[in-house]
A and B are shown apart, each in its own frame.
Chain A
Amino acid sequence: MQLFELLQYDFMKNALLAVLIITPLFGILGTLIVNHRMAFFSDALGHSAFTGMAIGVLFGIGNTSLSMILFAVAFALLLNYIRHKNVVSSDTVISVFSSLSVAVGLAILSRNGNFSKYSALLVGDILSITRKEIISLLVILVITLVFWYAAYNGLHSIGINSSLAKSKGIPVTLLDNAFVVLVAVIVMLSVRWVGILIINALLILPAAAARNIASDNREYHLFSVMISVFSGVLGLVLSYYLNVAAGPMLVLVASIIFFVTFLARKLFHI
């Protein structure tokens, strides 16, 4: 078995490039999602991809990515609004919306017994990614980095205490909404490759594992990105040699790292 034979193939090169762009992105975003306790929120967001796609198919919009992004952005803003209303406990509200969007999407996509055509959306298909799509991912990576540079401190203080942040003159609502919109766009752009069932794991696991061992923000970010990229690359390579889907393999690696870091913190107080 030659280690680098996989790079002879264009489709593997494309997949590897995509992984190298998506995983740092998810590593960075994950840190704030975990800090803001939004794991469930981003999960619901991923599920809304179904409805977004269904709406696109229903209205005959050729590029369903567009309808997915538009729907997800609207969905994210609505969820965020309700989350801050505190009418019912927010996890209940999120669960209701998550179930609703899955049901609407399934109902529309399964018309005439055709759902199997869309089942690739569930586990993702990173091998079919093309150069053009990789470029759109690259653009979003740059936007994220700029946004991070400009807004991180504000977002971080919101995560710690939003009332305090407000009193310091930080535009809490604006920043918070901008953040969820960014998450929505990124999730929708990558869900075709990663799959609805596992996209949230990819957002949460690296950050959660990094949090196990990090003691400040610098470490937290660094470790999260490292773990994310590593899981992505190893997952992809393993999927190539073992002939299994890439998404699940990637999540498996990240999960193992999570448990190792979790135990390390408990046992060795690292």
Chain B
Amino acid sequence: MQEFLDMGGYAGFVWPSYIITFGLLALVFALTWRLLKTSERRLEALQAARGRRPRGKRGAGPAAPAQSQSQPQARETEKAPAGAAGESR
């Protein structure tokens, strides 16, 4: 085991290489996961705040919600849905 950890005397070069490689890849994955979860939570919160609205007929992608701008409850905001909804309800 000691021999394995020693890496033939090059432990100071081999192990840092592997630690930096997999440490950085793990960090990028962790940041990606956090970004994804934050975005999905924000989207869910917004969609929940908008209530049950009919979805776009085709391709409800990023541009789709903008097509239904005229609906009154679209004035609700993410942070204060109840307060912001006061003017439209």
- A-B interaction: no
